[in-house]
Structure 1
Amino acid sequence: MSVGAPVVQWQDRLGLGEGIRVVDGRIVLVDILTGRLLAGPADRTAPLTELAGLSDPLGAVAPVHGRPGHWIAAAGTGICLITPDGCPEWLGRPEDGAATPMRMNDATADPQGRFWAGSMAYDAVEGAGSLYRVGHDGTVARVLDGLTVPNGPAFGADGTVMYLADSAKGVIRRYPVDPDSGLPGAPDTFAVFDGGSPDGMTVDVEGGLWTAVWGTGTVHRYRADGTLDRRIRLPAVQPAGLCLDGDTLYVTSARHGLAAPGPLDGAVFAVWVGVPGPPASAYRPGSAE
C-alpha cells in the first residue's frame, strides 16, 4: 500500500520528542529531557501547548480513566500521577539510589488498564534498565530486568501480546502476557535491526507493528508474523515516537545528540498510511473494569 508524504505539524523542534498519543481527540506528547507534557492544537502551524512541566525528565504519560486532566507518568526515577495543576504525586521511585544514574523512558497503558514503563541509565549502561508495571492499586513492580534502553512497550488489542524494544541491542522482542495477572512470559525475537535502533512503537487494527527507527530517518511496519511490510522515510534523522490517529501516523523526532541538526530534526510529522490504530488505553486505578 502506498503512503502519503510526511507533513510537518506545529512550529516546535523538540530536543527529545517522544511518548506521542491521541487522547480525547487531541495529540499529546513529551519532550523528555525538558520534562514537558505538550498538546498539539488544531492549528497545525501554531506552537505546541504546554500542559505540565516537571523538574524531572518525563518519558511518557497515559490518561487516568474517569479523571479528566489527570495523567500517570514515567518520570525521573519512577512513576507519578500528574494532577490538573501540574503537580506530581509519586507512586514510587524504584530507580532512586541505583548504582548508576537512571531515568524513566518510554511507557504506555495496556488494554487492561495497567501502566508499563521502562528505565535506562543516562549513559546507557548495558543491562542497567528494567521494565516496571503499575497495577490498579498503584503498586509499582519490576517485571523485567537486564534491559539497556527499553522502548515501547506496545500491546495487541486484547493485551495478551506485548512488544518491547531494547534499542541499544537493536531488537524487538514479543512477550505473551497473562491478562489477569499482568505477568509477561518467555519472549521470542520479533525483529532484529542491522542499522538504526527500534524506538517508539504502536500496533494497528490489523495487528501490524509500527516502530520508529532511530538514526535512520525511517519508520517500519511489520506484519504480525514479523515480515517487514513497509518502510517510510522522514526528513529527520532521529524519529523517536509514533501513534496512529485514524489512518494517519504521527511521528516525533529529536535534535538531542546531533552535532549539526537539520531544519526538520525535532519536528513532529504526519503521514497518511491507510490503516488505523485503536484508541490509546487509559490507566484504570482501583479496578480492572
Structure 2
Amino acid sequence: METVLRDLSFLEGPRWRAGRIWVSDFYTRRVLSALPDGSDLRVEATVPAQPSGTGLLPDGRVLIASMRDQVVLRREPDGSLVTHADLAGLARGVLNDMAVDPQGRCWVGCFGFDLMGGAAMEPAVLIRVDPDGRAEIVAEDMWFPNGTVCDGRTLVVAESFGNRLTAFDVGPDGGLANRREWARFGEPPTSRDVGAVLPGLAVVPDGISEPDAEGAIWVADADHGRAIRVREGGEIADEVRLPEGLHSYAVALGGDDGRTLFLCAAPSFLEHERRDTRDAALLATGVEVPLA
C-alpha cells in the first residue's frame, strides 16, 4: 500500500483519466488531479458547495456533483464551471456519488436524509441527467445510493445502508427496468437509526470501481477497514486491508496498465471529525485483474 496524496480532509469520487487520478476533497472544496505517484498535483476545480462524485462526458468534459446546492456542474475546456443540471427539485438531501455512461447520461445519488445531523434514516432517489441537462427521478426507495457504474446497458449502484449492490437494465431512452440485487451482503435495514443499523451491516458499500476484465467490481467497505472485489451474485473474490485506523470510502481502478487500485482513506466519515482535520489520504496498491 503506497500513499499517493496525504494531508487532505475527506476524499471521494476518484476517477482515472488520461494518465492522471482525479479526486474530490470535501472540506477544502477542491477537485484535484495528480500523476499516479502523487506528483504534479493540480487544483482542477473549486466547488464552494462541496464536491463529491465526478464523471467524464464523451467529449472529455468533467461533471461534478456539487453537494449542498444540489447542482451538477460541468467543467469546460478552459477550466470554468457552469451548471449542467439543477437537481434541487428532485434530490432528497445533499448530492452524493455519480457516474456518466458512454451516452453522456449522468446518474446521481443523494443522501435521502440529514446523515451528519443525526436524523432518522429515510430512503433516497436516483436521478438521471440527460446530456442536455434535463433530469428526472428514475429509482426510488434506495438506502443511501452511493457509488455508481454504468456501461450504457447495465447500471449498478451501491446502497450503503442496504447491505447490497443493486442493478438495473438501462433502456435506449434511459429508462430503468429489471431491478435486482447484483450482490447481497446481508439483510436490508429494519431500523431507521443509523447508529443501530451500521453494526449489523456485513458490508457498507460506498464508492465502487468500474468492472475489471472479469466483470468483478471493487467496493469500498466503509466501516470495516477494507476494499473487497465482488463478483455478480455476491462472492467476495479478493480483499485489500487498509492500514490500522483507516477506512476506505471510495475506490477506482486505473494506472497505465489498469492494475492500480486507488483508495480514498480516512479515519471516519463524520463531518465534525473531518472538516478541520487533514488526515485523509489517497492510497494505491496493485491488483491482479486489470480494468476492463
TM-score (norm 1): 0.81
1:200 is aligned to 2:212: no
Aligned residue among 18, 21, 26 for 1:27: 21
- Give the whole-Å Cα distance in 2 for the aligned partners of 1:30 and 1:21: 9
Choose between structure 1 and 2 for higher RCO, CA contacts under 8 A separated by at least 6 residues.
1
Q: What is the CA RMSD across the aligned residues, in angstroms? A: 2.7
- Give the whole-Å Cα distance in 1 for the aligned partners of 2:27 and 2:124: 17
Mapping of 1:83-122 within 5 angstroms? Answer: 83-84=76-77, 86-95=79-88, 102-120=93-111, 121-122=113-114
- Give the whole-Å Cα distance in 2 for the aligned partners of 1:78 and 1:118: 12
Q: CA deviation at 1:265?
A: 5.4
Q: CA deviation at 1:260?
A: 7.9
Residue equivalent to 2:127:
132
Q: 1:41 to 1:265 in 2, by over 3 A?
A: same
Amino acid at match of 2:29: G
- Give the whole-Å Cα distance in 1 for the aligned partners of 2:114 and 2:79: 25
1:220 is aligned to 2:245: no
Q: CA deviation at 1:54?
A: 1.1
Matched residue SS, 2:94 = strand
Residue equivalent to 2:175:
183
Contact 2:103 2:152 in 1 (8 A): yes
1:55 is aligned to 2:48: yes
Amino acid at match of 2:233: D
- Give the whole-Å Cα distance in 2 for the aligned partners of 1:141 and 1:95: 11
Q: 1:125 to 1:104 in 2, by over 3 A?
A: farther
Matched residue SS, 1:186 = strand
- What stretches of structure 1 of length at least 5 have no aligned partner? 1-5, 279-289
Residue equivalent to 2:263:
251
Residue equivalent to 2:65:
74
- What stretches of structure 2 of length at least 5 have no aligned partner? 187-200
Matched residue SS, 1:162 = strand
Q: CA deviation at 1:239?
A: 0.6
Q: CA deviation at 1:196?
A: 4.3
Identity %: 27
- Equivalent pairs, count: 263
- Give the whole-Å Cα distance in 2 for the aligned partners of 1:43 and 1:161: 32
Deviation track 1:46-76 (CA, whole Å, cap 9, x = no partner) reads: 5842111111121122233335xx3212113
Amino acid at match of 2:100: A
Deviation track 1:174-194 (CA, whole Å, cap 9, x = no partner) reads: 22222x122221322222253
Amino acid at match of 2:259: D
Residue equivalent to 1:160:
153
Residue equivalent to 1:269:
283
Amino acid at match of 2:3: V
Contact 1:237 1:265 in 2 (8 A): no
